[in-house]
Structure 1
């Protein structure tokens, strides 16, 4: 299993930087959106952040499985013996929060227009209102910021910054 462990550990370490970069992108984008009070035209930063965290969680689950099959401790050099489980749990919480940020950025579903008997559209709400976008920006900012809390708590700061294949 060692031939799978080190490449997976290296990928998990490198994807950490992808998570941090996309997280900064999403946080800055949400903050700027709240400040500008403009329309939300793209949720790409939130989708990228969510996707990178989901990839990170999948790689981490693979590492936990390999380590469990080989009787290895997840963080033998950790601050506490429970840090491995904390790391896993906080990663899952961060994935849920990032998913909520991405969902908050998604445009609400709009009902099809209703027509009256003579074929004219029935009076109703406007398709998109500015207050909808402001609410989406604020929600996306809230959930993106909240994602950073477990993300920063789960990070093993004592580990090497960039890990290569076969190195601890």
Structure 2
């Protein structure tokens, strides 16, 4: 089960990133071009938040069943190695903040009265989330912790 969840978490990372980028593209285009906030824009906004929440749920599940995190929690070392600290508290904390930013942006955009305000709100909050997301993902080239682009069994 652990390897299946790890694979799902790895694949879903790309879905979250792509929907967030697409939502930002639509937000910037709508905000700068005075376009109407269409049903498609609303669906993209909603799907971005839904995929982020699903990713967070899988991430929390992995956190509690991961042998890596168990080594961090119960290792007893005075100063654990940085990758253990990254996955033990930095990654979960930053990703939780990312999902909170996406949720606030999605919810606030939905409640705006004008189309320009919806696009502006979505763009600002999702941009903040994207910046933090790019830092918190363990890219293969990251100085924080390295993981492959895609983890398949």
Per the shorter chain, which TM-score range?
Answer: 0.7 to 0.9
Q: Which has the higher helix share?
A: 2
| Counterpart in the other structure of 2:13 | 16
- Counterparts of 1:70 and 1:30, CA distance in 2: 37
Larger radius of gyration: 1
- Counterparts of 1:154 and 1:69, CA distance in 2: 17
TM-score, normalised with respect to structure 2: 0.81
- Counterparts of 2:71 and 2:58, CA distance in 1: 16
Q: Which runs of 5+ in 2 are unaligned?
A: 74-80, 140-145
Matched, 1:94 2:98: yes
CA RMSD of superposed structures (Å): 2.2
- Give matches, 1:130-145, under 5 Å: 132-145=114-127
- Counterparts of 2:34 and 2:2, CA distance in 1: 47
Classify 1:6/1:81 alpha carbon distance in 2 versus 1 (closer, same or farther; 3 Å). Answer: closer
Following superposition, the deviation at residue 71 of structure 1 comes to 2.7
Aligned residues: 137
| Counterpart in the other structure of 1:54 | 53
TM-score, normalised with respect to structure 1: 0.74
